[in-house]
Structure 1
Amino acid sequence: MNKNDFVTKLVFLPMLLGTTGQTVLAADNNNSQATDEKVEKISVIGSRSAKQRSVADSTVPIDLISEEDINAIGNTADITDNLKALVPSYIATPATGDGSAFVRPTSLRGTAPDQTLVLIDGKRRHRSALVQFFAPAAGNGAHGADVAMIPSIALKRIEVLRDGASSQYGSDAIAGVINFVTKDASEGGTVNLQYGQFYEGESSIKFGFNKGLELGENGFANFSLEYVDNEALSRGLIRPDAQSYIDSGVQGVGADSPFGDAPFTQTWGRPETDALRLFLNAGVELDGNMSLYSRVNYADTSGRYRFFYRNQNHSTLTALKALGFTGKQTEVGFTPYLDGDQKDFSIIFGLEGEFANDTTYDFSISHGSNELDYFLSNTVNPDLGLDSNLQIPQMDFNVGGYKQQELNINADFSTTVGEDLNVAYGAEWRKETYTSIAGEPNSYLGAGSSGFKGINPNDAGDVSRDNYAVYIDVEHDVTDALLMQYALRYEDFSDFGGTTNYKVAANYSVTDDFSLRGAVSTGFHAPTPGQSSVSSIITTFDGTTGLQVEEGLIPATHPLAIQYGGQKIKEEESTNISLGFVTNVGEATSITLDAYKISVDDRIYRTGNIATSDSTSISFYTNALDVEHQGIDLVVTSEFDSIDTNIALSYSYNTIDVVGQRSVSGQKPVSDATVEDIENNFPNSRFVLTSHTVFSDDLSLMLRANYYGSHYDERGRIGAAENPTAEIGATIYFDAELSYQFSEEVQVKFGVTNLFDSYVDEIDAPYANRRSVGLQYPRRSAANYEGGSWYLGVSYDF
């Protein structure tokens, strides 16, 4: 038994036995908050009924994550890391690769990022500007929302509905829905300050401010501000080619690093990021049982990610040397780095109230936009030539960017018919516009800036589409024991037509302590204007040869794409089936178990490289795959009053199977190797075990174990005779947080994330690996390779 195995068993065993712990993951029946809040929480998501129901009474599984739980995690880059640590069926891979370094690829139940709908206070969240080119295989090509723009200090709770809900909420709710519920207090406030440091030395700072104010006699305004600054992490190795230069006495190798990690010529790890995030939630009651409300969210974020190293023999330097260049780069090479600056804004106005016939209404209009601008530095465009002094004329380039804009208008109604029936209905109109922004001329001249060729004006411009929807949602208490739910929704899109989806769900109480629940539904993801129109030159490198590879991404309706089998993209379609139970064991323990199957047809995916007649290489998006996701989710919560301890175990098992593929020009658009990655890159098993022990009114301890089951790297093929894919063994990370309440106003927390500094398995020969480019870990493993860190936080309530 190695040291890590011994530590794992030593710490994990008492947690399983209940001798320490805290319930931090709020799932179905959560008891993680203070004693005076130990009641069944009321669910909002998944139901449009005015009748209050606990999550245990819901027809589908729902996680409720409290404000305390959200904030019991340190050194996170953004709220994505918090969700990943609390919901085992939610995966967020390391931020790595072009735009995916700034907009994290995520997955719920093994699906793509844009197959989970994101809401804020029940209203649809706009997408990010990024169409994912470099996401893990299961999420490649997705175009989803970026939850990282939401300040965590603004949140009262997070609701995660783990079941299909397109018939209730529209496009994208294939795997489920995540609803961020924001604070609405009209008084008081909080100031938080946290400093953290990784064991390797990198630091992070997080500041948060929240304040509630009264607006007149019947209104409120709740304002939140959050600022974070995270240094870049460097977790790789020195590349063999760079090491050879160092060994031969070359000075200054890696000195161009913006992160100060020379002599590394390539930096692997979490990018450098900083962000300012603001949120305002306001409302006022009017005469006539009406209320006006408004919510405003603004975020200004920036990130920096380092590209692949260009050594002495790289083609760009060869071209410059042929022109007479003799600068330092010819000895030490160079490494470009990419800055991604995001501006995110959303605003919503609404009027809600109740008519005389007990019908509630909610009219709203919202606008959301996200712009991602790219700046490539420390690179060259050989086609610019040299200046009069035979020097490189320009090394920093504005390479362009992308913008997503959305406008939503909603009218929602809910009517109670007697005591047992609620009918909700409504309509929605939405317009989406996707814009490609051209880079500066020197960035796309000729071969373009090395690493990221600027967006050409011919590929710039905007594409729009609109859609309307009508829906009806019925909840019927057939008997005291049986709740039935029915939903039907029709949507019509200007670019591909109409789609109709339904849901039938039920919860049956066999006894007071045991209920069965299940649902059957259909869902869809509408192809976005971004997926239909984006055009780019994608630059990658072969990890073995180090040679640069360029792929041309063009719209599926481009004449050249049509020549090679492209056609108009249609919607993805899904069928969801789930069955589970909820039970209470005694007064202190609750258990929920849900099995599910999600069948997705016509999954939108980017084709592999298609060689054209003029020896160029193109790719485009197409409805390529049929995919099945199956699994179970188990949640167990328990209290131990004798030691004042709460424990929560949340376990997820999921498999992904590609069951069909449509040919393009007689060929598979997605290679067998990529299909293998889709099915095997994510671990089948994950669990989160959390305990909270209260020692006194002032002192408490949280312990958490985050487990990732075995899975495969994306390099090579499983079982291949040469350079096979490496299997990544199971990994477990332990977190701890000690909290002390100095006074009614002041609380101090000291925490450790990944206490034992655990890492995923390293990969070396005979397996396919990335050591030639300086990475010893699986690049996009669900389990990160950041290492351990500690943090100290203080909060002041007023």
Structure 2
Amino acid sequence: MKYYFPLAGFAALASGTAQAQSEAGPSPESEIIVTGTRSSGRAALESSAPVDVVSGETITATGFPDLGRALNFLQPSINFARAATTATAANTKPVTLRGLAPDQTLVLVNGKRRHANAVLNVNNSIGRGSAAVDLDTIPESAIERIEILRDGAAAQYGSDAIAGVVNIILKSNAGGASAELLGSITEEGDGETALASASAGFAVGDSGHLTLSVSARAQKPTNRAFVDQRFDRVTYRIGDPKASVASLAIDTAVPLGGTAELYGFGTLTRKISNNGAGFRVPGFSLRHPDGFLPIIEPRIWDIGATIGARAEVGALKADLSQSFGSNKADFRVFDTANVSLGLTSPTAFDSGGVTYRQYVTDFALSLPLDNVLAGGNIAAGGQYRHESYKIRSGEPDAYFGAGADGFAGFNPRNPTDEGRNAWAAFLDLELRPVRPLLLGGAVRHDHYGDFGGKTTWRATSRLELMEGAAIRATYGTGFRAPSLQQQFFSAVQGALSAGRLVTVGTLPVGDPVARALGASDLKPERSRNFTAGLVVGPIEGFSFTADYFHIRIKDRIALSEQLGGAAVISILTTAGITNFQQVRFFTNAIDTTTHGVEVTARWQGDIAPDTRLSLTAGYGWFKSRLDTLRPNPVLPALPLLNRKSILFVTEAQPKSKFTLQASIEHGAFDAGLNVAAFGTYTSQPIAAVQTFGGKETVDLSLGYRILPGVRFGMGVQNLIDAKPDTIDDQQLFIAATGGSFPTGEETPIGLNGRTWYARLSARF
């Protein structure tokens, strides 16, 4: 099974090519891209770096109501771990690229930097220690397409673009409308999900537009917890959270006369979700003599907006814009108690909240060099960015003594209301000495008010060997600035340590207690990226790409181990701290190397009258290794990172992945097949290190056009009911968890199993 799907997929591609009766229509590779280049009119296959284009129709056709899951099963280089018990990880939806961390992928919307989460993932899951962009805040109904640049591009876009760039292009139509109703349920009878969305475009003046998109989704939780062997009943809630998400998106452009226009776009999202924490046994709290399961509920407001002006003066193009982003999360915890308050304890608490805001001013000039050699383009510009991060303390009862169980909330030892400024300037040049050869170079200098300046550069090349065949390569440097969240986050939470529930304080690196345990000021991550590959096509609807990449990262920022023991207790006691027993903080403790191979193949065309077939296959192989682990400078006996934390960085994501999508249309009927085969991954879910087997999922869909523009479809996700491997050493911790955990937090396929859905869509 491990090798069957890749071979079958490429065999299907070859077969499909042989059977083609007519030339295929436009493919995603023929679409004009705006990511990774400042030249206009470039198609994806003409780029010097690998760029994948995923249409909005392809995303909605998966039947997944959230963007993270859809991309996970469509793109071999993207991973979306389905955390099942950790509140901060399960309720925000970042993705990873090329096996790196979520915050090492830059997310853009219409080419403008998207703001990150205020919520920092401090749980034991993929992306531990990161505050990345929540893709759940962008409604699928608003997306025209997504461009995925698989290459380091910090010299073009600044911090965070170490693994690559995900650029979400919003719909900008001046007419027409679409709507969708979707409902789904797992075969277990839970996880009921309902989605309603709509999008409409309106003309503004002679050439302007206003496009509005709305989406509302409600989902019930799933629970795959095993029976707690201590009490012969299910006590945990392990699965997808209960959630409701409502979003609005706007994209508009208004002509100003001549070649100038005023444009704007934005999103507004309200998101409420909840997760169960660890079960507290009978006798733990006087308020809950039979035991209790605390529920953590983040309530999130997310706003992103950009307004700008574009103009052309002769061949010179100018773009000036101002963007604003805000992510605000308030936390409630209920069905719980603060044991320090005894019988007087409330059972619900306001645990405080976090807010992250970002202001970005961009200015860019671009000039085509049509009369220089065989052509080219030069661009220059600058950027100003202001960020702020604030922690709101919870109510006193939430953090008094031992604190509210499940999440004692926010009570920084020092008030947290921080900000910083950053300035940048860039120069970008592409030139064709001769028509078949494209050379490019970019240089950028960023200066941050808290750690100083950083200069990055990037060189690119593409040589057309013959018509329909080319080789390409890029080499450059990159960096990622330590986020304000990583520098100043402070909270007290319950966490598992070797199967035992403990209370952990996460402290800012500047806190005296953190300093006494080995913390120091954070430095930016530094990277060197190399990518080289082969491009074939498009030839009669067929295209093929193969790329090798190598990424070396120094001074990676990671959340330290939960440091405990006699030395830590002594330092905490001296500082007068009694409400937590272990401490963690952020550190530049490691250097890593990641390399791999990525292959894509596509074909589409007519195979019979009124019958069209489309096939897309992709394969990725990824390997990360630890190059350096720096010792704790204060307490050498307490390593900054242990095996579990290192595995999250190096081996806890699938080592390989194969995807295949096939769709056929015949008259009013259509059918689709999606296959995803995930490789093995290694983690330490409780105490023992375990390698989890690779799994394959198969999705099927059928549709019928019941009226012009109106389609009804049904489908099944995970037809073969694949489930992740169970934890091997769980029986050793029956006294602590009751054997409740079916698997770790790293599974890319989730725990739900087979899921059925129905979809009604309309286009006008």
The answer, yes or no, to whether TM exceeds 0.5 is yes
CA distance in 1, matches of 2:632, 2:336: 37
Q: TM-score, normalised by structure 1?
A: 0.88
Q: 1:564 aligns with which of 517, 520, 526?
A: 517
**Pair 1:417–1:37, CA change in 2 (3 A):** closer
Residue 670 (structure 1) aligned with residue 641 (structure 2):
yes
Give the Å deviation of 1:551: 1.7
Q: 2:584 aligns with which of 592, 607, 619?
A: 619
Equivalent residue number for residue 678 of structure 2: 708
Residue 730 (structure 1) aligned with residue 694 (structure 2):
yes
Q: Is the 8 A contact 1:154 1:183 kept in 2?
A: yes
Give the Å deviation of 1:286: 1.1
CA distance in 2, matches of 1:457, 1:543: 27
Q: 2:137 aligns with which of 135, 145, 149?
A: 149
CA distance in 1, matches of 2:731, 2:435: 59
Give the Å deviation of 1:421: 2.4
Equivalent residue number for residue 784 of structure 1: 750
Q: 1:366 aligns with which of 316, 323, 337?
A: 323
CA distance in 2, matches of 1:488, 1:768: 55
What secondary structure does 1:93 align onto? coil
Residue 58 (structure 1) aligned with residue 58 (structure 2):
no
Q: TM-score, normalised by structure 2?
A: 0.92
Residue 128 (structure 1) aligned with residue 117 (structure 2):
yes
Deviations 1:482-523, CA, capped at 9 Å, x for gaps: 001100000000000000000000010011121000000100
Give the Å deviation of 1:105: 4.7
Equivalent residue number for residue 281 of structure 2: 311
Equivalent residue number for residue 103 of structure 1: 92
Q: Is the 8 A contact 1:94 1:104 kept in 2?
A: no
Equivalent residue number for residue 530 of structure 1: 485
Q: 2:527 aligns with which of 567, 570, 574?
A: 574
**Pair 1:210–1:608, CA change in 2 (3 A):** same
Give the Å deviation of 1:217: 2.8
Alignment map for 1:189-588 (pairs within 5 Å): 189-202=177-190, 203-243=192-232, 263-314=233-284, 317=285, 320=286, 329-330=288-289, 332-356=290-314, 358-387=315-344, 393-419=345-371, 420-456=375-411, 458-542=413-497, 544=499, 547-584=500-537, 587-588=540-541
CA distance in 2, matches of 1:527, 1:418: 41
Give the Å deviation of 1:156: 0.5
CA distance in 2, matches of 1:160, 1:769: 42
Give the Å deviation of 1:19: 9.1
Q: Is the 8 A contact 1:713 1:781 kept in 2?
A: no
Deviations 1:376-427, CA, capped at 9 Å, x for gaps: 001111222324xxxxx41000101111000011111101233412110100
Amino acid at match of 2:369: V
CA distance in 2, matches of 1:241, 1:95: 25
Residue 692 (structure 1) aligned with residue 663 (structure 2):
yes
Q: Is the 8 A contact 1:63 1:159 kept in 2?
A: yes
Equivalent residue number for residue 645 of structure 1: 613
CA distance in 2, matches of 1:171, 1:122: 14
CA distance in 2, matches of 1:768, 1:675: 23
Q: Is the 8 A contact 1:21 1:702 kept in 2?
A: no
**Pair 1:568–1:766, CA change in 2 (3 A):** closer
**Pair 1:610–1:541, CA change in 2 (3 A):** closer
CA distance in 2, matches of 1:237, 1:443: 30
Q: Is the 8 A contact 1:93 1:104 kept in 2?
A: no
**Pair 1:21–1:291, CA change in 2 (3 A):** farther
Amino acid at match of 1:672: R
Residue 40 (structure 1) aligned with residue 10 (structure 2):
no
Moved more, 671-680 or 290-299: 671-680
**Pair 1:706–1:769, CA change in 2 (3 A):** farther
Give the Å deviation of 1:449: 0.6
Give the Å deviation of 1:564: 2.8
Q: Is the 8 A contact 1:55 1:62 kept in 2?
A: yes
Give the Å deviation of 1:768: 7.0
Equivalent residue number for residue 679 of structure 1: 650
What secondary structure does 2:230 align onto? helix
Equivalent residue number for residue 577 of structure 2: none
Q: Is the 8 A contact 1:22 1:701 kept in 2?
A: no
Residue 159 (structure 1) aligned with residue 111 (structure 2):
no
Deviations 1:704-731, CA, capped at 9 Å, x for gaps: 1111112223236xxxxxx743321110
Give the Å deviation of 1:552: 1.4
Equivalent residue number for residue 39 of structure 2: 49
Q: Is the 8 A contact 1:116 1:176 kept in 2?
A: yes
Q: Is the 8 A contact 1:168 1:471 kept in 2?
A: yes
What secondary structure does 2:329 align onto? strand
What secondary structure does 2:159 align onto? coil
Give the Å deviation of 1:642: 3.2
CA distance in 2, matches of 1:38, 1:410: 29
Give the Å deviation of 1:12: 8.9
Equivalent residue number for residue 547 of structure 2: 594
**Pair 1:19–1:282, CA change in 2 (3 A):** closer
Q: Is the 8 A contact 1:165 1:173 kept in 2?
A: yes
**Pair 1:507–1:457, CA change in 2 (3 A):** closer
What secondary structure does 1:560 align onto? helix
Deviations 1:321-360, CA, capped at 9 Å, x for gaps: xxxxxx6x32x2111111111100111110001123x210
**Pair 1:765–1:39, CA change in 2 (3 A):** closer
What secondary structure does 1:264 align onto? coil
What secondary structure does 1:385 align onto? helix
Amino acid at match of 1:41: E
Give the Å deviation of 1:757: 1.4
Equivalent residue number for residue 594 of structure 2: 629
Q: 1:758 aligns with which of 708, 717, 722?
A: 722
Q: 1:746 aligns with which of 710, 717, 723?
A: 710
**Pair 1:693–1:15, CA change in 2 (3 A):** farther
Equivalent residue number for residue 720 of structure 1: none
Gaps (5+ residues) in structure 2?
Answer: 18-22, 573-580
Gaps (5+ residues) in structure 1?
Answer: 24-32, 244-262, 321-326, 388-392, 717-722
Give the Å deviation of 1:647: 1.4
Give the Å deviation of 1:201: 1.0
Amino acid at match of 1:579: A
Q: Is the 8 A contact 2:161 2:479 kept in 1?
A: yes
Q: Is the 8 A contact 1:242 1:311 kept in 2?
A: no
Deviations 1:258-288, CA, capped at 9 Å, x for gaps: xxxxx52111101111100110001111113
Number of residues paired by the alignment? 734
Give the Å deviation of 1:525: 0.5
Q: Is the 8 A contact 2:644 2:683 kept in 1?
A: no
Deviations 1:567-613, CA, capped at 9 Å, x for gaps: 21110000001110101396343210000001110001122133433
Amino acid at match of 2:588: N
CA distance in 1, matches of 2:740, 2:526: 41
CA distance in 2, matches of 1:208, 1:478: 49
Amino acid at match of 1:774: S
Moved more, 423-432 or 745-754: 745-754
Amino acid at match of 2:598: D
What secondary structure does 1:466 align onto? strand
Amino acid at match of 1:84: N
